[in-house]
């Protein structure tokens, strides 16, 4: 077995750490029928096109038949999921 000096292993260790930490995708999900906006970091597409996810703000499992899904940054996700629902902005820029 070949042993590599520690300095030679740094790029491999750094790459592995970046891959492990940067794999989460964040979503803003809007129900166009009710206008409700949700935030999640994992969504599942069901038969018939519905999506199921856990709402990051309430922790409840939600299923939406028709949805508008947008990928968002981690920063936006963290800001939006802690906003009170009454102050959340709709994707169009209007407030509830």
At 31-40, the pLDDT tens digits run 999 999 999 9
Average pLDDT over every residue of 86-94? 53
| Full strand arrangement of the beta sheet holding 43-45 | 43-45, 51-54, 61-64
- Give mean pLDDT, residues 18-24: 62
pLDDT bucket at 70, cuts 50 / 70 / 90 = very high
| Predicted pLDDT at 18 | 47
Query: Residue 68: pLDDT above 70?
Result: yes
pTM of the model: 0.66
């Amino acid at each position: 077995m070949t042993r590599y000096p520690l300095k030679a292993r740094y790029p491999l260790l750094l790459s592995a750490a970046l891959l492990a930490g940067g794999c989460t995708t964040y979503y803003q999900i809007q129900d166009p029928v009710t206008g409700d906006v949700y935030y999640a970091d994992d969504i599942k597409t069901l038969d018939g096109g519905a999506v199921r996810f856990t709402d990051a703000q309430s922790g409840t499992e939600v299923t939406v038949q028709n949805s508008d899904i947008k990928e968002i940054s981690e920063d936006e996700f963290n800001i939006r999921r802690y906003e009170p629902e009454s102050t959340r902005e709709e994707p169009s820029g209007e407030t509830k």
